[in-house]
Structure 1
């Protein structure tokens, strides 16, 4: 069943847990993620990123997500991740996505507000919720340590001003993680004091991008200290690849089964790390 994130985030905030946001890039990954959520009887945020239309045509991505989310037996937030163009975001909303992200974090604060407000106005008239980003989450491949990474950290004052100016429903913040895989064996240094300050300043649900390879201890602490949603993509892909490599696959079908199993084991692990089980407590 497709739902919006509003009630789910409210429960997450009250019970101090996070919901995994799993990106899909094909029918196999979408089905794999839904099956894990149904097995655990827990909610899921199923995401298709605008940038992934290089792997899957945008319209096909929308169709696949809607197909699997609609028939799911658990609450599923069908979400457009990292929307950067107004046309694509409006297209997802009009197609039936109940949650979208406008990522204008690379622009100035004023331009970010302007672009986000335009999306919020369009989405809210149609009962759709909006996620935006203030600060900037960089790339893991450029991450050596907290001092040398290319993040632009979120401040509590900026977060408060941004939420008040835009009316956004959830906010992705930059506190030390990065997208993709980290350089060498680097593990991000999370600014938990910054997280707690932002969570104490605004009531808006907070989102963490760059969850992959950020360390279970780090992610658990984020989930229990104010983060309501954690994005996972790279780790799911790596788990699928590793499982296929470890398995003596004799044909295409066995390879698909191994990849699916790898993704599912990874996602189930993160449900535990994020303490999402509190949803049913």
Structure 2
């Protein structure tokens, strides 16, 4: 069934488990994610991000994911992640996405508030939920030779008191927080500020989101969720799993796309199932 963030994250917040967002750019990815969620009776979030649109246009992703979500026997949120422009977020809603993230985290604080509040008013009128980001979750690719985000991630961390002001003024349904993670493959083990997660969770009623989840240790996921994270974003892990599935098919002598499909779906399903067990979302649908 097609759901929005409120349908799955409020229960996750109360139950102290996490719901995974897994981006899906192909039928194999979508099947690996949604079929696993159905088999495990787990709520799930699927979608894409603006940075991924060169690989799969927004319209094509909507045509794929929205009907699959509606047919599913578990709650499936179709989420547009890291929307960088107001126009693309509006388009995602028009195409049937049930949730959008408007990422204005690189703007000034007041501009982030203004732009996010404007989009939230529109989205809520359409029954669509909104995620925003406060602080800034960087990119591992920028952390070269000690420069970039990971050189001093604490400078970008989310402040609990500012988070309270932000959610009060914007009305967002979920808040992505900067607590030490980064997007992409890690070149060094991240050190999460669990005390900060807990402090933010105590300060605001809004479910918290952890970006940059791929590559974290299982213990880090569990502790972050225990401290207050309700949504965890994963893409790199299943992107790699899909490629590994294709490589396994070639190694097995498969040369046709039809022969490779099962390998890719199987590899993606394995990666998704592992995360759902870690997050504690199995049997929560």
The two structures share one fold, judged by TM-score above 0.5: yes
**Aligned residue number for residue 264 of structure 1:** 269
**Aligned residue number for residue 181 of structure 1:** 185
Structure 2 residue aligned with 1:159, among 163, 188, 191? 163
**Alpha-carbon distance between aligned partners in 2 of 1:208 and 1:149, rounded to the nearest angstrom:** 18
**Could you report, residue by residue, the CA deviation over 1:192-222 in whole angstroms, capped at 9, with x for unpaired residues?**
0100100000010000100000111101111
Ranges in structure 2 where 5+ consecutive residues have no aligned partner: none
**Aligned residue number for residue 221 of structure 1:** 223
Alpha carbons 1:15, 1:278 under 8 Å: kept: no
- Measured after TM superposition, the shift of residue 122 of structure 1 is 0.4
**Alpha-carbon distance between aligned partners in 1 of 2:124 and 2:66, rounded to the nearest angstrom:** 20
Alpha carbons 2:29, 2:242 under 8 Å: kept: no
**Alpha-carbon distance between aligned partners in 1 of 2:225 and 2:118, rounded to the nearest angstrom:** 30
Alignment of 1:99-248 (within 5 A): 99-143=99-143, 148-150=151-153, 152-183=156-187, 186-247=188-249, 248=252
**Aligned residue number for residue 94 of structure 1:** 94
Alpha carbons 1:181, 1:213 under 8 Å: kept: yes
Query: Any idea what SS the aligned residue of 1:198 has?
Result: helix
Alpha carbons 2:41, 2:284 under 8 Å: kept: no
Q: Which shifted more, 108-117 or 216-225?
A: 216-225
**Alpha-carbon distance between aligned partners in 2 of 1:147 and 1:79, rounded to the nearest angstrom:** 27
- Measured after TM superposition, the shift of residue 244 of structure 1 is 2.9
How many residues align structurally?
A: 278
**Could you report, residue by residue, the CA deviation over 1:113-151 in whole angstroms, capped at 9, with x for unpaired residues?**
111011101001111110000000001234488962557
Alignment of 1:4-83 (within 5 A): 4-83=4-83
Alpha carbons 2:42, 2:283 under 8 Å: kept: no
**Alpha-carbon distance between aligned partners in 2 of 1:259 and 1:96, rounded to the nearest angstrom:** 27
Query: Any idea what SS the aligned residue of 1:175 has?
Result: coil
- Measured after TM superposition, the shift of residue 279 of structure 1 is 2.1
Using structure 2 for the length normalisation, give the TM-score.
0.93
- Measured after TM superposition, the shift of residue 256 of structure 1 is 2.5
Using structure 1 for the length normalisation, give the TM-score.
0.94
Superposition CA RMSD, Å: 1.7
